[in-house]
Each structure stands twice: as C-alpha cells, then as structure tokens.
Chain A
Amino acid sequence: MKSGQMKTLKQVMNYIRRYWLLVGLSLILAAVTVILTLYIPILTGDAVDLLLGKGAVDFDGVFGIMKTIGIAVAVTAVSQWVMNTCNNHITYHVVKDIREDAFHKLEQLPLKYLDAHAYGDIVSRVIADVDTFADGLLMGFTQFFTGVLTIFGTLGFMLYTSIPITLVVVCITPVSFLVARFIATKTYTMFKEQSETRGEQTSLIEEMVGNQKIVKTFSREEAVKKQFGEINGRLQKCSLKAIFFSSITNPATRFVNSLVYAGVGIFGALLAINGGIRIGRLSCFLSYANQYTKPFNEISGVITELQNALACAARIFELIDEEPQVPDSPDARVLSNAGGNVKLENVYFSYTPDKKLIENFNLNVKPGQRVAIVGPTGCGKTTVINLLMRFYDVDRGCIRVDGTDISKITRGSLRTSYGMVLQETWLRAGTIKDNIKMGKPGATDQEVIEAAKASHAHSFIKRLPKGYDTVITEDGGSLSQGQKQLLCIARVMLCLPPMLILDEATSSIDTRTEIRIQKAFARMMEGRTSFIVAHRLSTIREADIILVMKDGNIIEQGNHETLLNKKGFYANLYNSQFAR
C-alpha cells in the first residue's frame, strides 16, 4: 500500500475510533455469529449420524439436537441483526462526522481558496465522494470482520482434522491475497481518475444547469450537450476501466480457490489411497476448504471496494487538511459598538505576488464619515471591501478600527460591525422572512416588517402569494434583480450595525425606489461610518471623502470640490459621466 493510502487509512481510523465501543460490540457479535454458523453444520451432521437406518433412529437424540439447532439459529439471527445495525450506525456516523468536519473546514477556509476553486468540485467531494466512501466502509464492516473470523474459525477446525492437508491450503491461499492486492493497487489510480473526471463533470453540470437560461438564450444547448458528451465519453472510458479491472478480483481469487479445492482433492485422495486419512474426514475437509476460501473472495471484493472508498476519502481529506485561515488569536478583541474610526496605514495588498495592486495606501476615516469609492469599472473597488471585511488579509501595513489593528479583533465581531450590501445579491432557499432575519434570527415579525418597510421591500413582499412566508428558491428564483436587492437591504436594515459597506448596492433598483432607499440610507448612515462603491452623483457629492481608484491603486483622495479643482482624473471622470 502506498504511503498516501496509509495516511488516508490512518485518518479514517481516527474517525472510526470514536465509536470503539460499537466496534468492539460488532466484533464480539461477529465472532458469535461465525462460531455458531460453523457449529450448526456439525450439529446437523451429528443429527444425521443418528439416522442410522430402518428402525435404528434415535428419536430422543434427534429431538435434543433439533432443539440445540433451534437455539443456535435464534442466537445467530439476533446477533447478526444487532451486528449489522451497529455497523450501519458506525458507518453513517463516521460519514456524518467527516462531512461535518469538511463543512467546518469550508467555513474556515480563506476566501482565497474558495475564490480559486470550482464550487462543483468541492460539492462533489462533500457529497458524491463521501457517499462512495460510505458504501465502501459499510461493506468493509459487514464483510471484512466476518470474513476474517470465518477464515480463522475454519482454520482451527481444519487443523483439528488434518495438519498436512491444512498446510497445503495455507500455502496456496496467500496467492489469492497477492492477486487481490495486485489488482487493487492497479485499480487505485483508475478509481482516482474516475473520481476526478466525475468532479469535472459535476463542475460542468453545476455551471450549465445553474445558468441554463443563458445557455438557452444563445441557443447553445447543442454545443453544451456536446461538451457534456465529451466529458461523459471520457468518464465512460475510465469508469469501464476501473469497474472492469476491479471486478476481475473476484473471478481471479475464485480461481485460486478452485486451485485450493483441486489441491486438497488430489493431495487428500493420494493420502487416502495410502491410508493417511479416512474418506469421511476428507469429505468433511473438502467442505471446510470451501468454507475457508469463500471469505477470501469476499475480503478481496471488499478490498477493491475499500480502495475505491480510500480514493474518495483521500479527496475529501484533501479538503479537510487544507490550511484554514489564521484563527483569531485568543487575546483578540471583541469589537462591540464600534465607534467607527477606520484607519488604513501603509497598506500593501495583491492577490498574486507577481501582480502588484494596492501599494502604500493611507486613509483616515473619522466616525460617521462617508467614503465614496469611485473609478472606472474593474479598478479594484471590491478589493477595498475584501480588505475592510478581512476576507483577505493585507500583505503589509495595517487597518485599524477604533485604534485596534483588525488582525487583533475577532473576525466575527469585526464583520458584524459592518452592514454589507454586495453588488451580487445572494439569497438562500427559504422563506422571505428567514432571509431578512439572517442577521438577527431572534427578530420579531414586527421588526422584520419594519425593516422591510424601511427598505421599501414591504410592498412587493405583501403582493407575493404567501407574503413573508413565501418560499424562494436558491438565488431568489423568480424575484427580479431589484427585488432581490431590496431584500438584501432589508436584511442589513434589520440589524443596523455601526458601520456600512455598500457595494454598488442600488444599481439595479429603479430610480424612484432608489430615492426612497437613499432617504432611508441617509437616516441609517447618520452617525455611521460608511463605505460606498458609488456610481450616483448625489452619493459622491455628499461624501466626506472620495477615493478615486484606477488599476487597483488609489490615485486621488479628497472631497468633491477639492478633487474638481485639482482638474485631475476625477475631474475628467466627472465631466465625461455627465456630458450630455
């Protein structure tokens, strides 16, 4: 086994260890089941021995044995059921634990990681890979234990019967293991390839099914189908390879079994001819030899299944082992009722080291001030938000809120001190009410309605089929872009944090509504430090500080008048925007 697989296996073991009591119970029950299953044929044999012939049947003896068989069967049945239930419990809870850890990691991962990875791929790891892993693990539990125990049980019975023939069996059977192992290592990479291709396919499904309207808009259905077909074709090839080669294990080990059977038969027969063993013993031995080799089949089957499971587990552990964001230091300050002084000192930042972005950025925002960020499209305005919210950490310099470096403030308290409305609206599957209450789960209905009214969302919500209890699908479904944005605003309006970040928030809302919202915002912004990625003239003009950005850099800073008088980039921008 490769060291990578060993590591994965060790990680899996760590998860299983939590259920050691159940594992122990399952093992004991497996032993009971196996011993009784091996014992029952002996009892039947004994019973048959009592049926000597006409008039020579020992009925009392037969009844006694029948009763014993009955009890043994009952005990076996019960212990088998309890064992299986234990195995189920262990498997599904291990899987649950793994998923939870994966999800926990998801919540801890820096945005840098999430922005750089396809969602579909991550989803496929958390869902499909873990599922395959569960199947493998369950099979491992139900068949591996009993298989191994059966092997040892029969080995004991065989040794008791004839040592030389047992040696023949023991010599041949390892071949079976070798074959199984050979195939398993060969197929490991095939399964990994299959798993990766599946991930690629899930990504495509995610992208195309998620944006299907656009696909249809451009009549690209055929092209997309073809693209899907291409991946699908590759998946077919590597799936076939993986499934076929792994399924060779079974026939191959069975072939080895046949060799064992033939070996025992010939060797035993020769021994019998020389008077080394009685025929009755031999036939009994043959049946045990069969019993002995069968679990090898199962185990080797399980091993391929486990290989597959391990390949999947490796992918999920890759995610779990991903470096999380630097955790909040234990002495990190909890920011509450922030005053709103935000100070950026000599800040340097870039997404990739080879492409410089923000350099030596300084800014001092006094409590209650309004900062408008303007500049041509794509100038890096969202980068500033990424830094303020600590979605990304600065490379050099620091950002201070109320004098404290934000790297020494807990992320949670920092972020909740900002109310944020992003350019891209995001709503979750659930009711309208749940969406608004997101920032303040304990809010009363009255508060929700107040917030909705304040953000002018109330009137359209009221008209929805079930009002505030209308369930919307992921990403808002049939709501218009503007309505979605109103909901996002209502969401912030409800918890009213001390600082605000508005990222082109009102760009898709019609101007009439916008005016009303701006009034509400003005009220909300009163006394609150606000950062606005702005397009609207009025917003810009009323701002205390205007940051003019270009190519990721802050090129000018000041208020409307001073910047206009400067006749620089801003003046140019301003004049071109409102040129008729």
Chain B
Amino acid sequence: MMKKIGTLLCAMVLVGGIAGCGHNSQSGTVASTDRRGTLVNDPPLRVASLSASGLAAQLTAMPSGAALLQLAGAPVCGVDVYYLKYWTVAPDDSPQLASAALMVPTGSSSTCSGPRPIVEYAHGTATASTYDIADVSNPSNPASAESAIIAAVFAAHGYIVVAPNYLGYDISTLGYHPYVDGAENAIVMMDALTAARKALLSTFTPNTSDDGRLYITGYSEGGYVAMATVKAMQAAGETVTASAPSSGPYALEAFADAIFFGQVDIGATVFAPLITTSYQHAYGNVYSQTSDIYSPTYATGIDTLLPSTTPLDTLFQDGKLPESALFDSTTPTSSTGIAAVDTTADELLALPSSAQYGASLAALFDAGFGTPYLVNNSYRVAYVDDAIIHPDQAEMAILNHQALTSGDVALAASPSIGLRQDLNLNDMRNGGWAPEEPMLMCGGDEDPEVFFMNTQIMAAQWSAYLGTLVNVLDLNATPSGSFAQLQSAFQATYAGLVASEGASTAIQAYHTTEVPFCMVAARDFFGQVQ
C-alpha cells in the first residue's frame, strides 16, 4: 500500500512539474487595428519618472544643463516620460508604426496635476535614425538634449507634452523621412496627439488629464512642422489654442532659391539629400536618377543615406557626403540664350563676395563651395535659371534689398523644375491661409542655418495680423517688450560663446543656441493665451 502511495506521489509531482500550473501577470492590451491615431500598447510604457529635484539634478549634470535650468526656471513638477507606439500613415497612405514621447507633470500641486494643457512639440532635423525623443534619460541617444529642453521648459512647469518621432526614426520602418513634407508631418503630429490623449487615461497619474487647451510648437524642422500642423488642424476644424513655430524653413521656395543663388547655409549638404529623397518618394518628380542632381562623387546611394545609424561625422569621413561643399567652387555659367536671364544667373552663380554680403556672411556662404561638391553644376544652373524665369517674389525682393510687404512675397507662379514645384507646394505661404489663433514666430536674424528670411516672409505674408494674431520675436533685436529679458539673455549667451570659442566656431552653434530661448518664449507666450 505504502509503495503505491509513494509511486502516486512521485507521479503527481512529476506531472505537476512538467505540465506546470499557476499564471503570469499581463503586460497590458495591444491594439488590433492599424487605424490612424491608434495607441498600440495601453497602458503606455513609462520610461522615466523624475521628481522635480531629480530632474534638476539630471539637468545640472548635462552640458549646458545648468544654464538651461536658469533660463527655464527650477522645475515645479516632477515629470513622468512615456513611450508611445501609434499608427499613422506614410505619404502613400500606407499604415505606419511610429513612436512618440508623452511627458506628464507629476506632483500634488494644481500646477502639476488635474486638468492640464497640452503642448505638442515637433523636433528638429535629425540625421540619426535612432533618434528617440522619449529617451530622456539616455545621454547616448541623439535626442536626449532636445528631450531635456522640452521636459525642463514645459513638463516641469505643468504642461503635458506630446512629441512624436517623425517617420523614418526610431521604430519606423518607412526607410526614409518625409522631410519638410508639410501635410505628411501634420498627419503624424495629429495622429500622435490622438494616441497621446488616449494614453493619458491610463498613465500612472490618471488624474492628470487634458484640459482642452492645445499649444503647438517646434524648432527648426520642427518649427516648420508645427506651422504645417496648425495649418492642417485649422483646415480640419480642430482648435489650436496658440502656437509658436520657431526658426523653421517656412518659406521653402524662397529659402532654397537663396541657397542656389549662393547663400549656402550651414548644414545644406545634409538638408539637400533629406529633401530630395522625401520629395522624390512623395511626388516622383525630383530626378530620374540621383546623378541628375548630385555629382558622381556622391550620387550613388545618396537616396538611402539619411537618416542613418552611422554618425554624421563618420559619413563625412567616409566620403558619403561633403561636410559643407554644396556647390562647385569653380562656378558654372548659364546658357539659356536669353541674355537677361544669363546675365542675372551668372551673377548669382558666382562665388559670394564681400561686396554683396559683407565679409562675415560672404565667408559663411563661401564655405558652401568646394571640391568635391555635392550638387552638380548642370542642375544648379537649371535651378537658378528657373528661379529667374519663374521668380519667387519674396526672394527677389530680398535680393534687391527691398522691404518685404504682403504684396511682394508671392510664390513663383509656375516653376518648371520638379524640386521647385515641390518646395512651392510645401511652402507655408501656399494655400492662402493665416493662423486663426495667436502665433509667435521666434528666431534670430543672424541664424546661419535656417535664415530668418523665413520668418520675415511669413510675417510679411500675414502683415495684416502682425501684433495681434501673428507675433515675431527676433532674439537678436534690440531688447524690448515682454521678451526683452530673453533677448538680452540670448545675446549675452551668444556673445559669451563668441568670446570663448571665437566667431567662426560660435556661428556654427548659433541655431542650436537659440533653442531654449525660443522654447521659453513659447511657454511665456502660451501663458498669455488661455
């Protein structure tokens, strides 16, 4: 009998051991649809939880973090950062998985919990495909500095922040980034916002909710995307409480014309392939083959070069891209046979001179010429000829040193070059629209990367609304008005940079130095528009 019991016991344990029993905790629900704006994982993943003092400590440990803290003010709230996956669509309407950051203020005060406004932030140009603005605590992520700025400026002061990673970055498998494609990136922004509003209901602090106010901002490429989002949301009948696009290439056609005319901006050799790849995917009219635009040195593979997992410096070193030589230093000439066109074109195709632009600007633009160069001469000549024959009125006015007014900033009527047609289509002047709610455009008038002409042209286009719905902040202007302190602080910071690094190094950092100042200006502006 005992022998039988022993055998039975053994069998029970063995069976139990092999078959297993018990259960396992679950990781939330996964959406079964790829409809636009669908939140994939609910609840979303919290990737960081920082107290107000912890955030201050983290910022202090970062390069320039102490200065950022001083500018943004000590954190009032803690910040929980969530990583969202959501569904959106590509320019060809195919469903695309994308990711975003959701930053939720935490803390017991009414500034940090309960119904709070949302700031949606559009990030700047990124060359690293691993760019993830949710990865705020990972210094090796190329987005961490920008992420820290929006956490410190907005979330730590009571704003819920939604910040999408554009298609082409992080988990996106699109294979390219729809760079300065206004309608497409507006869709991404709106879909991320939809998913984030859903995610807000199931965070660790579900009592912190959307109070209905929506502010939109962004910097550089993100400034453009922010403005495109305002335009698209207005068209869709959705309310944007206020917006603050900053240092963005809004007037794409005029900006590109200026560059082809020889005013080569810092970063042009990076922006060029991002734009041509984007528009070629969207419209198919940029080139038949990459060598139509790009010199033989760089044409092969340039359409799949960016965004990349390879650091930009390595791409330069490996000869995949020139660091600054957009155009040939042996400049070409025009041969349309139309004397007026050829004469003007040849002047614009020539190397920038001090007589035209002054010594420092001429030196800056001159760095855009060299050998080997990125854009082949025949394409540059064709573009310049087109820009003369079908002029962008705003760029022509700037060339002629005329003050911009609403009457002379019109887009080219019918550009014939594919790239110019696409720039024209995506230019924020297109569509005859104006913001219906207050907008602040922040920037600096010596920005060597995204020229301030973009802001000036939009301001001229919307001159009827200037000072009311449309506001311009030039950080480099003589300090005055409600942003005087910020203007003074920016100018002192930049002067310090010039003193410590020298003018030629400092100018390289001008565009990025503006970021926290424009974001604090945006926050102050939003605070005035309830």
Say whether A associates with B.
no
